[in-house]
Amino acid sequence: MHIELVTETYPPDVNGVALTVQALEQGLRGLGHRVALIRTEQAEESLQARADLMLVDGAPIPRYPGLRFGLPAGRRLLARWREQRPDAIYVATEGPLGWSALRAARQLGIPVATGFHTRFDDYVGRYGAGFLAPWVFAWLRRFHNRGQATLVPTLELQQQLHDQGFKHVQRLGRAVDTRQFHPGWRDAALRASWNLADDDLAILCVGRLAPEKNLGLLLRAFRALQAQRPRARLVFVGDGPARAELQAANPDAIFCGIQRGDELARHFASADLFVFPSLSETFGNVTLEAMSSGLATVAFDYGATREHLRDGEHGAAVPFGDEQAFIDATLRIGTQASLFRMGEAARGAVQHLHPDEVARAFARLLHALAEIKQAA
């Protein structure tokens, strides 16, 4: 198949959308499909023109330093797809570039699937504009209903969106590279740089340091645990608009900045407990990365946690939004002698989540859309 992927974020951007799109692209190529990527040009980027890559001008996203949204590109897309018509298109983001791709695909009669990756309706509330949430959700629904399928990572989200008027919602599961995220990356020297001995406790949080990640709850949970285990350290991997304030208010926490590839795997494996307080994820890839790295995990019971983490065996799956239960679970799991065994069990639970299987399922789904379009 000839498949074109449209996105307004892509590595080296560090976020779930960028990494998911990259994994899908690599998986499709590995299966022998003809794949092209249409994405926003990144800052100071200089690449030679290629048939399998189309770059679109962008503009900065407010309060998201380093990220850009793609500007409209309808005429370029129409010309491109008239000259070399793809069998199917996948649109991963809902910005101006994504809208351009949807309109062009509809005009040319090319089947298109969209990806529901980000709860922008939740984000606006966490940035002080909750009154916009219903409008933002309606805008998301209108966008996704213009495609032939809306892809989501969990059965829970599939049912929620279906009940709220989204059409043709289909689940496409997520995977984790268990060879990359592996306990073997544990590094005593890195732990020593955190001022931790072998039997001390490192609490890890990986993700964007921003209001939508609910980091205030993480800090309250950590302080409760620290009262029981005074040598415990809180380690942040990531960056974002809340970093300066967090760092000033918590001088004993460790801020490692953005980590990628082997360094990210090393940070995961060198911790002891992963604590993820976010309530705004569509999935939460970092949960699978932590489990694959052999970490017991505390997270709210939705998204990746609902799909893959068994409460009491791999850590704690906390009732959604119950902050006191989250603090209690962090304290309970973080003081258990069985913490290491929970991490081993967590890794075992995600061993079957192969990226190749997700790529095959994605290709089958797009092939089915193309066949339906041809038969119509």
With the C-alpha atoms ordered 133, 137, 138, 140, is the resulting torsion angle positive or negative?
positive
For residue 14, what pLDDT is reported? 83
The CB-side HSE value for 246 (13 A sphere, CA atoms) comes to: 28
292-303 CB burial, b ≥16 within 10 A, e <16: bbbbbbbbbbbb
With 60 as the cut, is the pLDDT of residue 65 above it? Answer: no
For residue 182, what pLDDT is reported? 97
Per-residue confidence band for 42, with pLDDT thresholds at 50, 70 and 90:
confident
d(CA 48, CA 59): 21
pLDDT in tens, 285-336: 999 999 999 999 999 999 999 999 999 999 999 999 999 999 999 999 999 9
Going along the chain from its start, the domains and CATH numbers come out as: 2-175+354-375 (3.40.50.2000), 183-349 (3.40.50.2000)
pLDDT in tens, 216-274: 999 999 999 999 999 999 999 999 999 999 999 999 999 999 999 999 999 999 999 99
d(CA 257, CA 250): 15
Per-residue confidence band for 121, with pLDDT thresholds at 50, 70 and 90:
low
Out of 77-91, 110-124, 152-166, 341-355, pick the least confident: 110-124
With 70 as the cut, is the pLDDT of residue 46 above it? Answer: no
With 80 as the cut, is the pLDDT of residue 354 above it? Answer: yes
For residue 13, what pLDDT is reported? 85
pLDDT in tens, 162-213: 999 999 999 999 999 999 999 999 999 999 999 999 899 999 999 999 988 9
Predicted structure pTM score: 0.90
Tally of residues, the chain: 376
